[in-house]
Amino acid sequence: MSHDHIGVGRRVLDIEARAVDCLKDSLDDSFSAACDLMLAARGRVIVTGMGKSGHVGSKLAATLASTGTPSFFVHPGEASHGDLGMITPDDVVLALSNSGETAEVLAILPVIKRKGTALIGMTGRPQSALAQLSDVHLTVAVSEEACPHNLAPTSSTTAALAMGDALAIALLEARGFTPEDFAMSHPGGSLGRRAAEDKRSSNRGSLESDMHFQGSPGVRGNVRGQWHLVRHAILGNGRNLNKQEQRTCINNAPASTLLQT
């Protein structure tokens, strides 16, 4: 039997793309309220969820943490067996459940409410128990799953993931999170190397501009020709220096280092 794999793939992508596109119309003051709660938190954003929602929540916690919002994931099942102690009144809990009725999530809500911890719910059902018990509710309802049986979480998890990314980037911009901040939390991997190189390139351009002094063309060109020696002095100790420290390094460098022919 022949199967149209490409056709199925395109249908799935179309359905999920529509699900994400529809989220734009659902954004309202609740989205702003959720952002404000997380920005004002003196503690961390604690993300929780069960099953596929839990997997999405784990990714969301990692995205928040790497973009300026301290966050970690707490499994709701483990929370009922001691991990609720990780949650404090200074935190904000972001609970994900498409149905809004996940038993393991609902079981920990009374303790969260008694602690006085702010609760943001993200569900596909505004009338669900989780939605009603939340201080702020974000709707991620979808008209259909991409699964032909309308059962396997597909469109719904994609929508929740996209909403989580929208929150993370809104917080990133509100905090003024910079590429330098990103590099600080990404010392490894290609992203970390790229961010660090961008930082070094920026520093190098700034320093070269500072070194452009009046003098003969030969001297100016010689200074630029010896830039790699100065760069080694500045960056060789494994950290980036601010502009004042850079100038100090240049001013204290032997003339033979800067001007040797």
Tens-place pLDDT, residues 110-133: 999 999 999 999 999 999 999 999
Average pLDDT of the residues of the chain: 84
Q: Which domains does the chain have, with CATH numbers?
A: 5-177 (3.40.50.10490), 182-259 (no CATH)
Structure tokens given for 188: 């490894």
**How would residue 212 be classed by pLDDT, with cut points 50, 70 and 90?**
very low
Average pLDDT rounded to a whole number, residues 98-107: 98
- 128 contact partners, CB below 8 Å, separation of at least 6: 97, 99, 100, 101
Q: What is the pLDDT of residue 227?
A: 43
Which of 158, 122, 161 shows the shortest CA–CA distance to 12?
Answer: 158
Average pLDDT score over residue span 148-163: 97
> d(Cα 246, Cα 206) in Å, to the nearest integer?
10
Amino acid at 15: I
- What's residue 131's pLDDT? 98
pLDDT at 217 exceeding the cut of 60: no
How much is the pTM?
0.75
Q: Quick one: what percent of the chain has pLDDT higher than 70?
A: 72
What are the strands, taking DSSP E only, across 140-261? none
pLDDT tens by residue, 186-195: 777 676 667 6
Closest CA to 105 of 139, 128, 138: 128
What letter would DSSP give residue 72? E
